Amino acid sequence: MRISGKSLAGAVAMLTLGASVMLSQDSTRTRPTSTRRIPITKEGGEVARKVDTVTVYRTDTLRVNVNTPPTIVHDTVTQTRTVTRVDTVTTTYYPPVRLPNGLYFGMNGGVNAPNGAIYNPNGAGPTVGAQLGWQGAKNFLGIRTDLNWSTLGEDSRFSQPQGDPDIWNWSIDAKLQVPWLTHTFGAIHRFSLYGVGGYTHTWFKNLPMRVDATDPNAVVFVQGVPDWTNQNGWNAGGGASLMWGRSELFFETRVLAFKPENAPQSRQMPFVLGMNWYGSR
């Protein structure tokens, strides 16, 4: 067969056009991809890349009312916000109470009531005093010495022969406090009940007293002015105290007794309120 030049050229052109169309169709096709991870080796180890996929879904809701004419009704989206409130609890810290120990000094004052041989010719009068002692706040036993002055009032029946009596009492005592009810008034205060008693020496002048125990109207001055008379005796009583820090408030009553040579036993009963201050802890 004879093939002319024009025929050959036309055939080549047709083949070229067909190949171009086929290549363009192949290029529009989606190339398959592999989901297999390709390990990458570095220095003998395998390194793999991990991709976390987060899918976000969004749903829009639209309600259409079936009434005529159609009315579009939008749902109302309510957003709820949660607020967390933390209540603050304040804890009050009380430092440990450091109770004093050792030496203390104090003062007191009150009323002195007569009793015994000095009851009939005398009335109650004022008294003041001071005390010095040693006792720890938690110690059961302590010692104390005190000096007190008092005067007595006049009885109307014996006012004529009576002068202004002066009485001084010096005592040295043992003091015992009980270990109960110590926190009656709270943790920072220390409450205490105690007993006290010991030796008392009494000086007095212008003090009328009953000489004959059977006759209450028999009264005589034991010693005239300005001389003083002194007698040995004893004392016993008790009280209550409240301590905070280095300070101590107390109430106390005692019986201070002495026995003159020519009269029955004479007794004083002071009721005093006082304060003590501790010098060391």
Tens digits of residue pLDDT in 101-147 = 689 999 999 999 999 988 888 889 999 999 999 988 778 999 999 99
Residue 12 has pLDDT above 90, yes or no: no
Instruction: Indicate yes or no: pTM above 0.85.
Output: no
Q: Cα–Cα distance between 257 and 255 in angstroms, integer? A: 6
Q: Supply the pLDDT for residue 3.
A: 53
* DSSP bridge partners of 134: 103, 143
Q: What is the spatial distance between Cα 143 and Cα 197, in angstroms, rounded to a whole number?
A: 10
Of residues 150, 151, 156, 168, the one with CA closest to residue 121 = 156
**What does DSSP say about strands 229-244 and 247-258: parallel, antiparallel, or unpaired?**
antiparallel
Assigned CATH class of 103-278:
mainly beta
Query: CB of 206 within 8 A of CB of 163?
Result: yes
Instruction: Calculate the alpha carbon distances from 231 to 2, 202, 226, 242, 267 in Å.
Output: 175, 5, 17, 34, 12
Q: What is the CA radius of gyration of the chain?
A: 55
Q: What is the pLDDT of residues 200-252, one digit of tens each?
A: 999 999 888 887 656 656 555 544 446 889 999 999 999 999 988 889 999 99
